[in-house]
Structure 1
């Protein structure tokens, strides 16, 4: 009887802790603060403009499609400017460019059969006149919008690369040269990682990097997961995802988007000859506020992971970390016609 009571108490304690974490996630996902609402506003535009761009990428895009969301987005851009938000931010420029591509596409057809088009074009022209001409020119020069045809040869290019061997040569590295990474290498790794897919192309992730000795030492003292090799890591990366980029029905999606980005980033580092080790971050770990304050991370950003990294010191001792067999992971449902 006593054993059953102890188990019940233990179970209740675990569930209470999980509830505590969920409540904290709920509070940190609030859009009430001004900076969180700004992120929410911008990413609302990205979600909606992504649906417009997807329409332009369909096999048979109908003339006049998406007139309501396009009208709504133009109104949101006026609101964006009215709120004093930065028009050079990616969210605004991406929205502007896709709508410009949308208007260009509609002009390929008889717009007289699309009564809403004249008003859409008029309002967009009014918006354009309110923007700096250099900004408008740079948006058109630097960004692409809409859809394009990708040659099959390009799509199949991945088959020319031995990705399995590449993945096999990536290990969790815990010993590095005692030197900072070149900023050009970090910039290149982030450029590669930014190609990772994200929900509605929101790209809600941020990367915080430091090789400054005192900051690295402080991170060493604040993080978990580095037991046994503290003081051995010369560079740290902290990957975060902004909770304010997601809507109410997307609870915890920030961890999925952040996890995808993290995978791309660590493989990008490996491709540049940079060893790395992912250290899992416990949600709302006791030192989280100190770590965020140290690196200037906002309260509504979720810490996805801490990544220690550095140049290889030479032949390196690594654990095997044996992987499961395919049969342990893959479950094929039904039988394909090919069989």
Structure 2
């Protein structure tokens, strides 16, 4: 009897442990966590992260004066290292140069350090700015095809000071639930928070949402773990959650509600703190957050240029 129970436990635990260990080793091997700072992927990945941070700062309605000095200095150091070692140009390098130019062009508006801005100009290889603007009337245009609609959606970080009614929230989720899921298990659940105090507490806990204004709804996306069956599906709740989240972003856009998705780093301490702010079932894991609110009349957003299709598409004939 005892032997049978032990065998049953081992039959579950051993494959799960092997799966987790293989995933961990793959991550350690190929992520930039253990890479040398002169490694090409290390430089390019950090440049992508740093330039997006600067874009986000400049897309805020009221950014802190003189923000981003250390990150701009890091961008220039990484660019210098890249040029000395690799010399070739690519999309991320071009984008980093555009960000430096944008930083320089906005030196008076944001009270940036004058000497730092001069250095930015020295690094600049392009004359194209990377900060976009759009009006609400343009967003509200009824698009005749999905391509135009999808490309018109941008993450925004400040919203109209107007509450979103529950009927609108329900309609958004009703549209989003058309998202596919593994075997149609529909594991995703949505918690829509409209309480200002709770929204602010969660954004503060998140740590990467500074400068947001008038967030009127915070969607918390979860997946029910008990909908999945074996160790090969440990990542599937996050995949299902991600598919649903993208559908939710489009649904918000279609209803004139701006949005910005936030990655949720659910370390044990943060996850526990979140569950103390709002009630989340123990068999659910958080896969992502989305802040939202109605669009203002004039919107500033980070362009966040995308890689050329040729760099992400492989066709096998």
Mapped to 2, the partners of 1:184 and 1:234 lie a distance apart of 14
Mapped to 2, the partners of 1:219 and 1:175 lie a distance apart of 17
SS of 1:264's partner is helix
Mapped to 2, the partners of 1:233 and 1:217 lie a distance apart of 9
Change (3 A) 1:285 1:166: farther
| Contact kept in structure 1, 2:214 and 2:293, CA below 8 Å | no
Mapped to 1, the partners of 2:283 and 2:144 lie a distance apart of 39
Is 2:236 the counterpart of 1:236?
A: no
Mapped to 2, the partners of 1:233 and 1:258 lie a distance apart of 22
Q: Name which of 317, 330, 334 aligns with 2:300.
A: 317
CA offsets, 1:274-333, max 9 Å, x none? 000001011326321121232211222111111110001111110110011110111111
- Per the alignment, residue 175 of structure 2 pairs with 192
RMSD over aligned Cα, in angstroms? 2.1
Mapped to 2, the partners of 1:165 and 1:175 lie a distance apart of 23
Structure 2: 5+ residue runs without aligned partners? 1-20, 28-142
1:200 CA displacement: 1.2
| Contact kept in structure 1, 2:157 and 2:213, CA below 8 Å | no
Q: Name which of 291, 304, 316 aligns with 2:287.
A: 304
TM-score (norm 2): 0.53
Is 2:306 the counterpart of 1:328?
A: no
Change (3 A) 1:299 1:231: farther
CA offsets, 1:245-276, max 9 Å, x none? 10113121101111100010110000000000
Mapped to 1, the partners of 2:200 and 2:220 lie a distance apart of 14
Q: Name which of 156, 164, 172 aligns with 1:173.
A: 156
- Per the alignment, residue 201 of structure 2 pairs with 218
Mapped to 2, the partners of 1:165 and 1:231 lie a distance apart of 27
- Structure label with greater radius of gyration: 1
| Contact kept in structure 2, 1:220 and 1:231, CA below 8 Å | no
Change (3 A) 1:213 1:283: closer
CA offsets, 1:186-235, max 9 Å, x none? 100110111111111110011111111222222222123203x1454232
TM-score (norm 1): 0.50
CA offsets, 1:91-132, max 9 Å, x none? xxxxxxxxxxxxxxxxxxxxxxxxxxxxxxxxxxxxxxxxxx
Mapped to 1, the partners of 2:221 and 2:191 lie a distance apart of 6
| Contact kept in structure 2, 1:209 and 1:236, CA below 8 Å | yes
- Per the alignment, residue 126 of structure 2 pairs with none
| Contact kept in structure 2, 1:224 and 1:279, CA below 8 Å | no
| Contact kept in structure 2, 1:220 and 1:230, CA below 8 Å | no
SS of 1:306's partner is strand
Mapped to 1, the partners of 2:303 and 2:200 lie a distance apart of 29
Structure 1: 5+ residue runs without aligned partners? 1-14, 22-159, 335-339
Mapped to 1, the partners of 2:292 and 2:213 lie a distance apart of 12
Mapped to 2, the partners of 1:192 and 1:325 lie a distance apart of 30
- Per the alignment, residue 245 of structure 1 pairs with 227
Q: Aligned runs of 1:132-151 on 2, under 5 Å? A: none
Is 2:186 the counterpart of 1:203?
A: yes
- Per the alignment, residue 73 of structure 2 pairs with none
Deviating beyond 6 angstroms after TM superposition, the runs of 4 or more aligned structure 1 residues are none
- Number of matched pairs: 178
